[in-house]
Amino acid sequence: MSTRVLTEFDLLLPASLEEALDMLERERSAVTVLSGGTDLLVAMKAGFKTAKAMSLAHLRNLDFLAYDSGSGLRMGPRTTIAQIVDSADVKQHYPALWQAAKIFATPQLRNTATVVGNLLRGSPAGDCSAAVSALGGTLVMASAQGRREVHVDNLWVSYGVTARADNEMAVELRIPAPTKGTVSAFRRLTRVNEDLAKLNVAACLQLDGSTCTGARLAMGCVAPTMIRLPSAEAVLTGATINDDTLALAAEAVQQDISPIDDQRSTAEYRRAVAGVYLKRTVQQACGIA
């Protein structure tokens, strides 16, 4: 184990999507897919072993980012966090995702890391994962057999494990278009800005005046995977957003989370701040900060 020397592996560099899917079909679990690689390379330097790694670096046209007011946002598996930050459409229509991307890691890592990679890493701490969870994204998985869609609610199975089959590759992320009254926001708690989160929250609400008619709330670093917050969502749905209902939602969060002690924080601290951060995130989304 060394941060200087990577363990040995074979690198596959498919030149087309078809070739990539054929390789996955053949290699299955022997191969680890690498897009930006900002997480995988650190893992490999920390002792994670893989016989083969398949890089998407030579695949063309997979770094698209397109917004349509009807069909929503589409991006590819090579679309970087920096592209999200630079997108006026994302900033305007998907504040939660833009805010998560804006403070994601460092400028160098934002130039390399991808949103789809963040989702498929299956980390409970992924900033873009929180945002995409709240915004209700769907991944399109492709294999040599065909394509299927996996909604973000069904993506994370357990720590580091996703619903992606070992012969599949995510080829697109879709996020529905906001409608009138859709608001969203993201917040993260760290010691310094470059850190991974101690806790992160994303909220996407459907508002009719000050009444919340629908809520998708996601919180990270409080369970083995990124999670939705069903108890807090139930409190807010149908309610008027005010100090009283936010206090109730903040309290309800305790039923939804199961944090642990780790190198970045403690379970006790996470429980203490979870409600506060949820409240502030909803306020930020509603513009009542």
Partner 1 sequence: MSKHFVTLNVNGEDHDVVVASNKTLLDVLRDQLNMPETKYGCGTGECGACTVLVEDFTAINSCMTLAATMDGRKITTAAGLQKGNELHPVQQAFIDKAAVQCGYCTPGMVIKSVSLLAKNPNPTEQEIREGLEGSICRCTGYLKIVEAVAAASKAMAGTAG
Minimum CB distance to partner 1, residue 43 (Å):
10
Which residues 241-260 are close enough to bind partner 1 by CB under 8 A? none
Query: Do 274 and 267 contact (CB within 8 A), yes or no?
Result: no
**Residue 283 interacting with partner 1 (CB under 8 A):** no
Minimum CB distance to partner 1, residue 50 (Å):
11
Distance CA 286, CA 204 (A): 10
Distance CA 71, CA 177 (A): 6
Distance CA 217, CA 238 (A): 15
Q: Take residue 52 and report the two structure tokens written for it.
A: 């083969």
CB atoms within 10 A of CB 7: 12
**Residue 264 interacting with partner 1 (CB under 8 A):** no
Q: Find the binder of partner 1 among 41, 144, 248, 276 (CB under 8 A).
A: 41
CB atoms within 10 A of CB 47: 9
- Mark the segment that binds partner 1 (CB under 8 A) among 9-17, 161-169, 241-249, 278-286: 9-17
- State which residue, 1 or 158, has the beta carbon closest to partner 1: 1
User: Cα 104 to chain center, whole Å?
Assistant: 11
Q: Find the binder of partner 1 among 18, 68, 194, 244 (CB under 8 A).
A: 194
**Residue 16 interacting with partner 1 (CB under 8 A):** no
Minimum CB distance to partner 1, residue 40 (Å):
9
**Residue 190 interacting with partner 1 (CB under 8 A):** no
**Residue 48 interacting with partner 1 (CB under 8 A):** no
**Residue 148 interacting with partner 1 (CB under 8 A):** no
- Mark the segment that binds partner 1 (CB under 8 A) among 32-40, 69-77, 233-241, 268-276: 32-40
Minimum CB distance to partner 1, residue 239 (Å):
37
Taking phi over 0 as left and psi of -120 to 50 as alpha, with beta for the rest, 203 belongs to beta
Distance CA 267, CA 247 (A): 21
